[in-house]
Structure formats: structure tokens, C-alpha cells
């Protein structure tokens, strides 16, 4: 009988090629790295360069998030400033109308105060 074809090495190579090798185990006695996910032996220098590249990508993403948050805060502060301006204008209008009401209430016509509740007919 012939020996069956062993597919294990091909499957292992395919798994290793698609693996990102993010999680490794370190053999401190030999300074070897082994991928925890696919079992591949990892070159320590390659791993350090890859780690630095991932760190740079993470820092760029983090800076993008910070910039986005800062833009939202600036927009929010601009909205608050607009609302405060509208509130100030409305308060000014309320004060102007109250002053006009008091002015009219104290006005007299034919000796009768306009704001008086008692009126002579």
C-alpha cells in the first residue's frame, strides 16, 4: 500500500502565511520567538519591526481620534456661543418690552393712568 499524502505541512504553511503573528511566546534561553496562533518560528528583528509598525499605526489612529474629538468640541463650543448670543438678545428684548410695559402703565390719558385697573367711563 502506498503512503497517504500528508497535507499537514501545506495546511501549516497556509496558516502561517495568513497569520499576523501578533501573539508570540519567547524562549529566553535561545532568544527564539514562536507564534502562539500558528506555531511558526518568528525572526525577533522582524517581530520588533512589525511591532513598531503596528505601534505607529495605532498612534496615527489615536491622533485621528483626538483630532475628531477636538473638532467636535470646537463645534459644540461654537454652538454654545451662538445659543448664549441668542439668549442675550432674547433677554434684551424681554427687558425692552418690560420697560415699555412699565412706561405705558404709568402713562396718563385724560388724567387717568393707563395702567390703572380702575377706569372711569
Question: What average pLDDT does the segment 24-43 reach?
Answer: 84
Is position 19 within any domain? no
Is position 5 within any domain? no
Per-residue pLDDT tens for 7-23? 444 545 555 667 888 88
Distance (Å, whole) CA 105 – CA 97: 12
What is the domain range of residue 63? Answer: 30-109
Distances (CA, A) of 36 to 17, 19, 26, 48, 118: 14, 10, 10, 16, 95
Per-residue pLDDT tens for 46-103? 888 888 999 999 999 999 999 999 999 999 999 999 999 999 999 999 999 999 988 8
Residue 27, strand partner residues: 32
Is position 114 within any domain? no
Is position 49 within any domain? yes
Is position 44 within any domain? yes
Is position 23 within any domain? no
Is position 60 within any domain? yes
Question: What average pLDDT does the segment 20-27 reach?
Answer: 84
Structural domain count, the chain: 1
Is position 18 within any domain? no
Amino acid at each position: 500500500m502506498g503512503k497517504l499524502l500528508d497535507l499537514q505541512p501545506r495546511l501549516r504553511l497556509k496558516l502561517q502565511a495568513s497569520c499576523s503573528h501578533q501573539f508570540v511566546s519567547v524562549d529566553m534561553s535561545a532568544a527564539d520567538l514562536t507564534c502562539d496562533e500558528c506555531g511558526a518560528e518568528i525572526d525577533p528583528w522582524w517581530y520588533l519591526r512589525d511591532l513598531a509598525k503596528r505601534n505607529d499605526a495605532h498612534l496615527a489612529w489615536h491622533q485621528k481620534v483626538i483630532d475628531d474629538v477636538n473638532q467636535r468640541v470646537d463645534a459644540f463650543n461654537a454652538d454654545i456661543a451662538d445659543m448664549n448670543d441668542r439668549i442675550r438678545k432674547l433677554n434684551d428684548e424681554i427687558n425692552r418690552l418690560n420697560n415699555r410695559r412699565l412706561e405705558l402703565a404709568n402713562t396718563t390719558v385724560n388724567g387717568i393712568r393707563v395702567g390703572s385697573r380702575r377706569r372711569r367711563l
